[in-house]
Structures are given as structure tokens and as C-alpha cells.
Amino acid sequence: MQEQTQNTADNNENQTADTAEERKGIIETGTVKTKNSRGTIYCLNIIGQIEGHMISSPQTKTTKYEHVLPQLVDVEEDEEIDGVLILLNTVGGDVEAGLAIAEMIAGMEKPKVSMVLGGGHSIGVPLAVSADVSFIVPSATMTIHPMRMNGVVIGVMQTFEYLKKMQDRIIDFIVRHSNIEYEQFKKLMLTTDEIANDVGSVLFGEKAVECGLIDRVGGVHDALECLYGMIEGKKRKNKTKKEA
């Protein structure tokens, strides 16, 4: 009886420790790992501004690539994690940092589903389409616009060529990982009569799906069901391989 009581106490302590660790993960990195009978899912938040090589102001909410990239490596190598849910509410930010995260997500073997909540603007677009399946809630928006450059700009042809090459990198990634055509995306990016004092387009939930940029309109339940379906499909495939 005493041994049973001790085991119960140990289990309670372990559960408390796990809960504390989960809370710490949510507070520090905005991530959480959930587990049920259908599988274990790692939830990654990409929020605020995508921070690059320069530190943003303390008042700005940021996603730091030096935090996200190692997390994704850890997730890919963790045998307990079956799939990844990526939640996006970002204004955009550093192009190279955003593309680095997007390429990392796209290169992962584990099932991945992304969901745009609130906004998936600018470099948030390639992040949204980097998953295997992308969702957007009806009220969310996505802003597509030409690439911008901060700081000192040298007014020579090489600068404009560099901008064009960087822009083509972004467009190529988006076209490869979504169902939108190259010319259609470029047309949306260069629209001049939609955004005041700017060039580009704003797409709401349904419109983003209609043009082929995002796969489906839906909420968190739809995204989770899709991810669990992909996880179950992968488990069946692996089981068939082992039996063969």
C-alpha cells in the first residue's frame, strides 16, 4: 500500500514537472507539444516581425530565426513528435531570415500544416505556403508587395539587379510550394490601385484560396484534423514498408 502511494506521488510529481516545462515553453518561445491517442503534435508560433541580423526594438513582438531554426531541427529528430502545426500572425520582416525558416519547414519530412490567423503579410507568405497543407481563417489577410530595402542604397544598376534576384527567389519559392501561377502572383504583387500609397495586393481568406496561394479556408479544428489524417497516413505507409 505504501509503495502504491509512493508511485502515485512520483507520477503526480512527473506530471507537475511536465506541465511546468510546457508552460515555460509557451512563455519563452510560444511553442507547445500536445499528445493524444492520434499522435503528438508540435505547435510553432510565428508572430509579429521576423527578426533578422539586427535586433528589433523592445516594444516590437518578434520571431527570432536563431530560436526557430534549432527548434525545427529538434522537432525533425524527435521520434516522439509525429507532426507540426504552424500558426502565423506576422507582419513580415527580414527577407533572408524568413526564407531560411520557410526553407527549413519545407525540407522537413514530418507532416506539416500551417494556418494563417490575423495576418500573413510580406515574407509571411512563403512561410504560410512552406507546409504540406496551408489553411487560412476567413477573416485573415495576406499582403503581397514588392521587396523593400532599408538603410543606405547605392543608386546603381547592380542594386536593382540584386533586388530583382531576391524578389525572384521569393516568388519562385511561393510558386513551387503553392498552386498559384508565376505571372498571376507577379500581377498581384505589382497592382497599383489597391493599397493606398503603396504597390501590391491584400488577399482575404477566400480570395487567397481562390487564386491558389493557400490550400483551404478553415479553423484550428480543420487544420488539426488534416494533420492527424496525414500522420495516420504516414504511419500506415511505414507499417506497410516494414511488413514488405
Q: How many secondary structure helices (H) and strands (E) does the chain include?
A: 8, 9
Summarize pLDDT for 90-113 with one digit per residue, the tens.
Answer: 998 888 999 999 999 999 999 999
How many Å from the N-terminal Cα to the C-terminal Cα in the chain? 48
Residue range 23-41: average pLDDT? 76
Residue of 122, 130, 134, 178 marked active site: 122
Is residue 24 situated within a structural domain? no
Please check whether residue 128 lies inside any domain of the structure: yes
Angle of helix 95-106 versus helix 65-77 axis, rounded to 10: 10
Any domain includes 75: yes
Residue 242: band (very low, low, confident or very high) from pLDDT cuts 50, 70, 90? confident
Q: Residues near 26 by Cβ (< 8 Å), separated by ≥ 6?
A: 32
How far is 135 from 152, CA to CA, in rounded Å? 38
Active site residue 221: no
Asked if residue 117 is part of any domain, the answer here is yes
| 235 band by pLDDT with thresholds 50, 70 and 90 | confident
The angle, 0 to 180 degrees and rounded to 10, between the axes of the packed helices 95-106 and 157-176 is: 30
Residue 39 belongs to a domain:
yes
Residue 5, pLDDT > 60, answer: no
CATH number (domain holding residue 84): 3.90.226.10
Q: Which of 158, 138, 132 is nearest to 234 (CA)?
A: 132
For residues 37 and 93, give the distance between their C-alpha atoms in angstroms, rounded to a whole number.
38
Contact 153, 124 (CB under 8 A): no
- The per-residue pLDDT for 25 is 55
Q: Which domain holds residue 206?
A: 31-243
* Residue 15: predicted pLDDT: 52
Confirm whether 190 is domain-assigned: yes
Q: Say if 21 falls within a structural domain.
A: no
Q: Which of 7-16, 70-79, 136-145, 168-177 has the lowest mean pLDDT?
A: 7-16
Q: Which of 134, 145, 177, 178 is catalytic?
A: 145
Is 122 a catalytic site residue? Answer: yes
> What's the predicted TM-score (pTM) here?
0.83
- Which of 104-113, 208-217, 233-242 bottoms out in mean pLDDT, i.e. has the lowest? 233-242
Q: Count up the domains in the chain and report the number.
A: 1
pLDDT in tens, 58-95: 888 888 888 999 999 999 999 999 999 999 999 988 88
Closest by CA to 145, choosing from 100, 105, 94, 185, is 185
